[in-house]
Amino acid sequence: MAKILLIEDDQYLAASIKEQLENLKHVVEHVIEGNEGFDRLKLYSYDIAILDWTLPDISGVDVLKKFRDLGGVTPVLMLTGKADVDFRVEGFSSGADDYLTKPFDFRELSSRINALLRRPANYCPSNLTIGELEIDLAAKVVRRRGVKLKLLPKEFAVLEFLVRRADHFFDTEALLAYVWSSESDASEAAVWQTIKRLRKKLDVEGAESIILNVKGMGYKVEKERLQFRD
């Protein structure tokens, strides 16, 4: 059972989500406006928040930014009818933990919620390991057996983006929009070359690559390979 805050102004959709989640024994609180949702996130403890992008008084992204700026760590799953990659990138860069495009099957929503609930509190701390690699996200340093690897800033940025969003695929367009957003002359070739260099530095011959690639889906880091360190 989880305590869930649902911030959604579509009354029909909200009622359906609330009913189905309560059938799964979750406790669901529903609000329509973003400011009320923000106030509840500040005052009360929730296991997860489901946040609509378009709300009548303030956008879901603005709610999320304000909450994260206060240090809020509650996992947030964003719902939106916006499928463009720019919106997905904006949602993740604002602090969303996951993103689901409308219309969706409730089974997918339930699966996403369960995945977020399995995450430890304050998901993705600064220090973690993948095999022999030690990654310090705060210091932006990667070591293998204590030896610091020489990663370029963009290489580390790609690695950090994928690690923080483990188990999600991102195509070259999404990575380009996030990591190279301030470089208007960059192309998808820059993404390919960066990942190629990153794999060469991170991977061990004969072992599965740290960064997986599935044709037509993109790149990802598998969450099950991440180990968190104190």
Residue 37 identity (one-letter amino acid): G
- The predicted structure's pLDDT at residue 122: 44
Q: CB 78: neighbour CB atoms within 10 A?
A: 28
Check residue 44 and report its DSSP letter.
Answer: S
- The predicted structure's pLDDT at residue 183: 47
**SS3 call for 2:** coil
Instruction: Return all residues near 68 (Cβ < 8 A) that are at least 6 apart.
Output: 94, 95
Instruction: Return all residues near 47 (Cβ < 8 A) that are at least 6 apart.
Output: 2, 3, 4, 74, 75, 117
3-117 placed in CATH 3.40.50.720: no
Alpha-carbon distance 164 to 103, whole Å? 26
- The predicted structure's pLDDT at residue 155: 92
Percent of the residues in the chain that have a pLDDT greater than 90, as a whole number = 27
Lowest mean pLDDT among 17-31, 158-172, 211-225: 158-172
For the chain, the domains span: 3-117, 127-228
**Domain at 127-228, CATH from 3.30.450.20, 1.10.1040.10, 1.10.10.10, 3.30.465.10:** 1.10.10.10
Q: Mean pLDDT across the stretch 122-134?
A: 73
**Six-digit token pair at 103?**
């219309």
Backbone dihedral region for residue 206 (phi beyond 0: left; psi -120 to 50: alpha; all else: beta): left
End-to-end CA distance of the chain: 27
- The predicted structure's pLDDT at residue 199: 94
Percent of the residues in the chain that have a pLDDT greater than 70, as a whole number = 89
> Please, what's the b/e burial string for 24-55 (b: 16 or more CB within 10 A of its CB; e: otherwise)?
eebebebbbebbebbeebeeeebbbbbbbbeb
- The predicted structure's pLDDT at residue 229: 62
Alpha-carbon distance 23 to 148, whole Å? 50
pLDDT exceeds 60 at position 83:
yes
Higher pLDDT, 137 or 28: 28
pLDDT exceeds 90 at position 45:
no
Higher pLDDT, 138 or 53: 53
Q: Mean pLDDT across the stretch 127-131?
A: 82
Q: Nearest CA to 112 among 95, 123, 100?
A: 100
pLDDT exceeds 80 at position 27:
yes
pLDDT exceeds 50 at position 22:
yes
Higher pLDDT, 71 or 122: 71
CA atoms within 13 A on the CB side of 212: 15
Mean pLDDT across the chain, nearest whole number? 84
Confidence of residue 14 (pLDDT cuts 50, 70, 90): very high
Confidence of residue 120 (pLDDT cuts 50, 70, 90): low
**Six-digit token pair at 95?**
């602090």
- The predicted structure's pLDDT at residue 18: 92
Lowest mean pLDDT among 9-23, 28-42, 160-174, 194-208: 160-174
Q: Examine domains 3-117 and 127-228 and report if their fold is the same.
A: no
